[in-house]
Amino acid sequence: MSDRPRISLLVATYNWPRALALVLESVRNQRTMPFEVLIADDGSRNETRALIDQTRATFPVPLVHVWHEDTGFRLAAIRNKAIAAARGEYVVQIDGDIIMHRAFIGAHARFARRGHWVQGSRALIERPTTERLLTGERIRLWPFTRHLNIRQNALYAPWLTPLVKGPTDGLKRIRGAHMAFWRDDLVRVNGYDETIEGWGREDSELATRLINAGVSRRNFKFSAVCYHLWHKQANFDAVERNHDVFMRTVRERRTRCERGVDQYLSSAQHVA
């Protein structure tokens, strides 16, 4: 019997079905399939639901749509609802504009280690190539793709992965677009802090609580390669307020938040 965990792939999305379709196509292309895919939908309109319903019929693994009403940017809450619904032992988290290399899921399954959470990397696809991809054009994504930023992160070279060190804290180079956690670690620290609304710091705050609880950070490069589609910058209005929540976690060395995933765990089967 394999000792590799069952992976629940958590994909956060909001009103961008064309990008989500590319993400789901990259799931189909995986050499190793996740156990399930959970779409954490922060209130998208019916276009996204229709895409998921249509895709589900021929999708190779269970495709679960976790949705709540659109009342503003509530990424922490919708991720918590998806974590509660997850049935795998290990949660690999990406955004709904991340296209995965075909070895992405298998690489995470091999890299998972108890007592650690994972910060992944990503290459950035610039606007011209993003627009071509969104119109359905087939483009090979690799380190020499045109209009690619941070192209070293597109290098698939697993033999280099053990040489990667990087930051060990919960603030430097934190990117919620590509992270991974043991689900029971997330439950232990109560998942994302839902007092954080609007863009910014929800991932750093969670990472810091995990570290405070004794779950160490590992940085993952050159194996789980993925590509981030270009989009307009987020609204930064909430960053200062959210940073105050983060700094409270740092000062008080908090390991749990008050409003977190526990409020959904008793009725997870009704989330989707």
Question: Mean pLDDT per 10-residue run, the chain (272 residues)?
Answer: 86 98 98 98 98 97 98 97 98 98 98 98 98 97 96 98 95 95 98 95 97 98 98 86 96 97 73 41
pLDDT at 137: 97
Residues in the chain: 272
Residue 57 token pair? 């019929």
pLDDT at 2: 61
pLDDT at 271: 42
pLDDT at 267: 53
> By the 8 A CB rule, do 122 and 226 touch?
yes
pLDDT at 270: 36
As a whole number of angstroms, the distance between CA 69 and CA 45 comes to: 9
The DSSP result for 139-174, as a single string, is ---STT-SSEESGGGG---GGGGGG-----SSSTT-
Q: Which CATH number is 7-258's, of 1.20.1250.20, 3.40.50.720, 3.90.550.10, 2.40.70.10? A: 3.90.550.10
DSSP 269: G
pTM of the model: 0.95
As a whole number of angstroms, the distance between CA 158 and CA 216 comes to: 21
pLDDT at 201: 93
Placement of tokens 């627009």 in the chain: 131
The domain spans of the chain are 7-258
